[in-house]
């Protein structure tokens, strides 16, 4: 028997909250688990016909906004990591592809201290 829509929305809300916590806490394992739970719940929701229930639609919009906020957090976190790597001299990427379909990535090491 399929889960009721309200239960699925609650499950999706819990997965999004856990995803946000994992992003803020830098917990990769929890992020992977919560993302898998989110995707599984979304698949179940997509398999159902959309209802004409206004409260369902409002809750779904609210959860969509939470998902977009999590995406923005992930994007910010990625920029922070790229910035740190660049300043450590670990990677530099042009962000464009050359004629061979490769990105122009410079990998160079730089001593972080003098011994």
For the segment 51-67, what is each residue's pLDDT rounded down to a tens digit? 657 777 788 889 999 99
Q: Hey, CA dihedral for 52, 53, 55, 61, is it positive or negative?
A: negative
**Would you state the pLDDT for residue 51?**
62
Query: How many domains are there within the chain?
Result: 1
pLDDT value at residue 111 = 63
111 belongs to a structural domain: no
Other C-beta atoms lying within 10 Å of the C-beta of residue 113: 4
**Entry field: residues in the chain:** 115
The answer to whether 14 touches 8, Cβ cutoff 8 Å, is: no
Q: Is the pTM of this model over 0.85?
A: no
Task: Supply the range of the domain harboring residue 32.
Answer: 5-106
Confirm whether 84 is domain-assigned. Answer: yes
CB 25 within 8 A of CB 18: no
């Amino acid at each position: 028997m399929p889960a009721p829509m309200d239960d699925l929305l609650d499950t999706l809300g819990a997965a999004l909250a856990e995803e946000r916590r994992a992003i803020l806490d830098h917990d990769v394992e929890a992020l992977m688990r919560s993302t898998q739970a989110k995707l599984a719940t979304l698949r179940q929701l997509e398999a159902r016909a959309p209802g004409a229930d206004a409260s369902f639609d409002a809750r779904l919009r609210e959860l969509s906004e939470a998902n977009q906020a999590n995406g923005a957090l992930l994007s910010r976190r990625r920029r922070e990591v790229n910035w740190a790597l660049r300043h450590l001299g670990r990677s530099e990427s042009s962000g464009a592809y050359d004629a061979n379909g490769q990105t122009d990535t410079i990998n160079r090491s730089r001593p972080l201290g003098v011994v």
